[in-house]
Amino acid sequence: MKIHVLGGGAWGTALAINASHNASAHSTHHVTLWVRNAEQAADMQMHRENRRYLAGIALPESLHIHATPLPQWVDTLSSNDLLIIATPMSALREFLTALRDCKASIAWLCKGFERPLQESKGLLAHEIQALVAPNLRSGVLSGPSFAQEVATRQPTALVAASTHADVREALVTAFHNPSLRVYANEDIVGVEVGGAVKNVLAIATGLCDGLQLGLNARAALITRGLAEMTRLGIALGAHAETFMGLSGLGDLVLTATGDLSRNRRVGMALAQGKTLEEATQMLGHVAEGVYSARTVVQRAQGLGVQMPIAQCVVDLLDGRLHAAQAVQQLMARYPAAETFAAM
């Protein structure tokens, strides 16, 4: 199998590194990392390292790195190839449009909602694909995973979601190995909702930790955040049980508690009195929760789903609430029964 990873950021590079190690056990596997910036590709080729995003982690010699423009090679892909789009959500529409006639199986790694375009609502990745490239055989690879740990082959479990059985099978075949377990799932809606909403909730738990509110408060936020995520997912057509799995509870726990979580670090910085601009500049990477929070709440409101934690994050990001006020607002809500349907 020829595996093409499109995107030279931390996550795309990490997955390409892991797949290249896996390729040694599968002589038919061939892994290529396509980098948009020619200078970055040349630097990675020379130093055998992604010094910008994964400094200190060697690139396997078997990993091929190229910067050939997309139109020049996409027509060479066959139905037996696997193409992984490892770009931020903001670039997904562009690449799916360019790949709309591609014969290969395609999966994306990005998590979040697209920013609304003109008067349209913000879309999940599979909704974008259905709109601009409806004939693609596609899916998503998601789950609790920090790029650095995947690149260094620390134990990780992911979920491959698609309505196409052959796409799920291709993802499992390409990436399942002793350090990376890949589980198949048909519920692409649930997997994508989990991956999008957990980033927003991680900002809230970062705020909680930054204010030193304690472990009780963090546990409450994670648990009630999971209920919000589930309610939105069900309203969008997902299966409730998906949120008890890797892309729901698993990814939420990791992103809400892990020190490598960019979204959690945004929340902690806001708790320390930094502006949103200062918080995001400190990261040097994309924190998808910052861009997805408003769309999450807008989609929820359109479906009649209340998400008080996500709403507080939006009010915090937009400057309508200070950190302490956000906590007070959540704690002042009226009592309710503990169910996923509780408002």
Catalytic (active-site) positions: 198
Spatial distance between the Cα atoms of 118 and 108, rounded to a whole number of angstroms: 24
Termini Cα distance of the chain: 48
Strand order of the β-sheet with 2-6 is 64-66, 30-34, 2-6, 82-85, 105-108, 138-142, 156-161, 180-185
Q: What is the largest CA-CA distance in the chain?
A: 60
Beta carbons of 263 and 173 less than 8 angstroms apart: no
Spatial distance between the Cα atoms of 99 and 25, rounded to a whole number of angstroms: 30
What secondary structure letter does DSSP report for 100? T
- Using the CB atoms, write b or e for 209-244: b if 16+ within 10 Å: bbbebeeebbebbbebbbbbbbbbbbebebbeebbe
Spatial distance between the Cα atoms of 167 and 239, rounded to a whole number of angstroms: 20
Spatial distance between the Cα atoms of 212 and 216, rounded to a whole number of angstroms: 11
Spatial distance between the Cα atoms of 209 and 279, rounded to a whole number of angstroms: 15
Beta carbons of 33 and 42 less than 8 angstroms apart: no
